[in-house]
Amino acid sequence: LREENFRTRPIVQVHDSILFDTNAKEIDDVKTIVESVMCAKRFDWYGDIPIEVEFEVGKNWGELEKYDV
């Protein structure tokens, strides 16, 4: 994200979730980048285990709604 000069930054990781601070203009691009990084095969022993990535967007935790592009 920094290499592409996005203002989006990861804020906190809670269990299997990562919270990002972003703005509406960057959401689609950030989603694409984060998804590709999270799903990238890093180890040979990983095999063909699918990794599912879901996105939710909202102004705060209480307002999160599923986000699909």
pLDDT digits (tens, 9 = 90+) for 9-52: 999 999 988 999 999 999 999 999 998 888 887 777 767 777 78
**Residue 64 pLDDT:** 92
pTM: 0.77
**Residue 43 pLDDT:** 72
Residue 10's contacts (CB-CB under 8 Å, 6 or more residues apart) are: 18, 19, 20
Token couple for 28: 């689609």
Using CA atoms, how far apart are residues 26 and 9, in angstroms rounded to an integer? 11
Using CA atoms, how far apart are residues 60 and 2, in angstroms rounded to an integer? 23
The count of other CB atoms within 10 Å of the CB of residue 56 is: 12
